[in-house]
Amino acid sequence: MRIFINGFGRIGRTVLRQVLTSATSDMEIVGINDIAPLETCAYLLKYDSVFGPFPHLVEASKNAITIGEHTIPFTAAHDISSLDLSTVDLVLECTGQANTRGVAERGLKAGARNVLISGPSDAADVTVVLGANEDQLGDAQIVSNASCTTNAIAPLLRILDQDWGIARAHITTIHCYTGSQPTVDAPASSFARSRAAAVSMVPTSTSAAQQITGVLPEFADRLSIAAVRVPVISVSAVDAVLHLKEPLKISAVEALEQAFAHTDVVGMTYDPCVSTDMRGRPQSLVLALPETQVIEDQQVRVFGWYDNEWGFSARMLDMARRMDARY
């Protein structure tokens, strides 16, 4: 599969890392586009504050990035519809700007077969979350991969609702700080979000609340979601309190083991882990089984970790394969 990356930020670079360090060779990155200087993009791939130095030589050359044995053409187009992408199977749209149809379909106008957006977008034909609503993919050419938090929560709810029956649920996401927050106090979209990200826990909203009910409309009237941004640079968590329709007939841990035994997008750990232990995990969610709590067999607390960059990028590549497999 021939892939073009539009937007070489956190997700664009993490996707490239996964492709070039994977043992499989089913994907070829045939181009990168970003309006930042080429030398800066190469430097940020070579040295990463979260994942460490890239394990192969990275060099910027004229209009290309050389990574080990791979030389990848680099462009700086503000509008990729001006490029020739007629040999591209999929554009990974990672700019964060594909919020209108005009922007979202630029990859198609350039000649690419499909576009996969690395975040929420009302301009997409459909939003698909693996483990939750992949049956909705159909023949859509412009697909949103939702958000990292939606990828963590939606499979959890769908599978447990099928196995257990969820009457209602409240979920708190404990999310690392991101580039949308200031490093020092500065005006922002809300008072709390205007505070310095690395020194305080910041109660805030999450777009996952709307996305979850879009992906799983059956939860529209039985789910509430809150969020707290915390001063760590990577790995986030989901803290879910589920009220069940019927009491569990076996232990909650055993029930979780059975429920997620046949999916690759949700993992488990039996160890008393902390957030840094989950860095680089490819699953959408890793259930922390020792944190499971039950009240009267009908209220269950489920806790899970997710690497909001690495795990989400892994789902981008999984979704890309699923889209390409239609042909």
Just list the catalytic residues.
148
Tokens standing for 12? 């664009």
Q: Any idea what the Cα angle at residue 124 is, between residues 118 and 129, rounded to 5°? A: 55
Dihedral-angle region of residue 117 (phi above 0 means left; psi in -120 to 50 means alpha; beta otherwise): beta
Residue tagged 């690759």 (tokens): 264
Q: What is the per-residue burial (b if ≥16 Cβ within 10 Å, else e) of 269-285?
A: beeebebeebbbbbbbb
Dihedral over Cα of 125, 130, 136, 137: its sign: positive
Of residues 50, 78, 32, the one with CA closest to residue 178: 50
C-alpha 132 chain-centroid distance: 14
- In degrees rounded to 5, what are phi and psi of residue 101? -60, -35
Dihedral over Cα of 106, 110, 113, 116: its sign: negative
- Determine which helix (DSSP H) or strand (DSSP E) holds 144, and give its type and residue range: strand 142-144
Please list the alpha-helical segments (H only) found in 28-83: 38-46
Please list the alpha-helical segments (H only) found in the chain: 10-21, 38-46, 101-104, 106-109, 148-163, 208-215, 252-259, 310-324
